[in-house]
Amino acid sequence: MTKTWVCIYHFLLFNWYIFINHYISLKSKTQLGSKVFQDGGRWKYLTILNLLLQTIFFGVACLDDVLKRITGRKTIKLVTAFRDLLFTTLAFPASAFIFLAFWSIFLYNRELIYPKAIEGIFPAWLNHAMHTTILPFSLGEIILRPYHYPSRKTGLTLLAAAGLAYIGRVLWLYFETGTWVYPVFAQLSPFGLAVFFSLSYVLLAAVYLLGEKLNQWKWGYKDAEPRTQVPQEEKTSLQETADSERD
């Protein structure tokens, strides 16, 4: 059964992300906000898409917690499976990627990613809510509970599909409006853009593998089974039993 404090933690983060999304929605209706979000709306930004993603994930995590406490079961087949897939292939990689990519470009030249003029709509605390705290919250999930990772091929394929979908939207918005979502893209040649997007996927894949390794290091198994000090010949039997219970 899920611990009470874990349920509370997920509930608080779920509501935190609802609040952040609502706050940004209100800001988008102001005069300055309408200028920032023109040509594609607020959903053109990867950061804001990630905030929606985190809201969905922590909502599913809350649902999973509640159902486990009500039924007394260790897993709720479809909900737990969806929670695990959502976290391992999207929620954790997206948070880590945005944290690393945003702050790397920001420290190099903030005007390329987060112009100073935008602080009129996004104050400092909101900037950190969008680009800083997302990583420790995701890392905390790995520490709090084990996650079942899909096969590496499946995980990286889903990650690539999500990345290509966003790149496709960025390019479509440029061809439709003549404006790039982020100023940094305007500084790159077509070849430079290809290199940038390719390196971005390499970074995404790296943080995906990092999450997999951290999960394995903390819990002992790649597929989220807890570390147990048992003889080697018993591990196979334990694994088969765990897989049977999950099904």
Residues 6+ apart with CB under 8 A from 83: 57, 60, 61, 64
Residue burial 46-78, b: 16+ Cβ < 10 Å; e: rest: bbbbbbebbbbbbbbbbbbbbebeeeeeebbee
pLDDT of 107 over the 50 cut: yes
> Hey, how many other C-beta atoms are within 10 angstroms of the C-beta on 151?
10
Give 203-236 pLDDT, tens digit per residue.
999 999 999 999 999 988 555 444 444 444 444 4
- What is the per-residue pLDDT for 219? 87
Place 2 in a pLDDT band, splitting at 50, 70 and 90: low
- pLDDT at position 230: 41
Whether the CB-CB separation of 17 and 58 falls below 8 Å is answered with yes
Render pLDDT for 44-64 as a digit per residue (tens, 0 to 9): 999 999 999 999 999 999 999
Residue 122 pLDDT > 90, yes or no? no
> If you write DSSP's letter for every residue of 1-39 in order, what string do you get?
---HHHHHHHHHHHHHHHHHHHHHHHHTTSHHHHHHTTT
pLDDT digits over 156-207, tens only? Answer: 999 999 999 999 999 999 999 999 999 999 999 999 999 999 999 999 999 9
pLDDT at 238: 40
